[in-house]
Structure 1
Amino acid sequence: MGKKFASVFSPLALYNLISALGWSFIFLNVIFGYPKVGQPSFFLVTKDLVTYIQCGALIEILNSLLGIVRSPLLTTAAQVFSRLLVVIGVFQLLPQTPATKSIAYVTLLLAWSITEIVRYLYYFFMLVRKNGAPKFLVWLRYNLFLVLYPTGVASELFVIYSSLPIAEVSYSILFKRVLQISMLTYIPGLPMLFLHMLAQRKKVMRSWKNDAKKQS
């Protein structure tokens, strides 16, 4: 009992729990806040919060670098920095980007927040629960991405694309080129991550079927 209690308050478990709570707050803002204030007010009142919470993911790069978690360093860094490019490069430096005031910002936050709530809670329970994450959470983890990944990526690309003319005018052609190159990285990146998740999903679903056969 004491060991389980200690693990709940370990730095890694707390990080995952706090991250899940942070993204839950954003999700609730989308569900209850957006219908009340609409755009562009919704973007203006949430962009800083989203930026702060996303910047917390830098800890994941450090955890991977130090070997605290088994996540590959390059993959983790690529995922985190692609998000940071959106929240800092667009939300903070180019807030006048038209897409940030559109429904694309809302779909982006929905895709990000649902994905991260499930992911961080999954990691949290894997750390603190003897039997691992609850089955419903495992199912969400390995099925929701089929919809959330394409939705999130499409929203990200639309937001970045919308910022290109403003980036050149507000800063420089170099900044615009950085954003364009970042968009090109999605071409190899998305299929690689999506196929990896499909492989993981297949493994998990097969394990469930085998367990069901043993119990029948």
Structure 2
Amino acid sequence: MQFDATFLDLVLRWAHVLVVIQWIGWLAVMKGTQGVWMPAVQVEGEGRATARAFLIKGRHGLKGMSLFALILGLAVFFVDMMGLKVYSIPEGGGLSGRGRFIMWGMMLGIALWALTWFWLLPALKKVRATLDGGDAPDGGLLARLGLGLRVGAILAITVLYVMLVGPHLGAFHYGHIGLAVVLGFVGERVLSFCGSFGPCARC
């Protein structure tokens, strides 16, 4: 009896989408409020304690959601590959437009995961250790963290476009990837503006 993976794929796919939204949501919140908590950690007082608590929650959110996103993403890929054969390449043919968008989304998603685990999480850990010692983080560490958040925001918005919008565009074209990257840069600038002058600055 052949295993029908359609229902399992549906459950895993929606679970993956929800977890990714939470992961990117934490990234967006930390980027959007950067103009508030980053100056706060450099000045001793109640603001530093509040910023420290926020960064601890943010680090846990990024770590947990990115890990679950990776596990669920690999599970979806395995089910699609072995059960539904979504990514199988017919003889003399190639991946469909939807399949190519999904593969690009997977590669960009893995890049975002690597950025989270090997850049953002270690930097946040160092910031917390410095604050726990009663000192203010040095400017270089905060600059690296800020750059990581900027790159992460660009990647996150690019991934969302490629994974959610791309598969519905029909034929694959590299121009769509270029547009996704442009939207990533624009979205990151919007988050930065919000964090400096908009509602997020008053959170």
TM-score for both structures, normalised by structure 1: 0.44
TM-score for both structures, normalised by structure 2: 0.46
Greater relative contact order structure (CA < 8 Å, 6+ sep) = 2
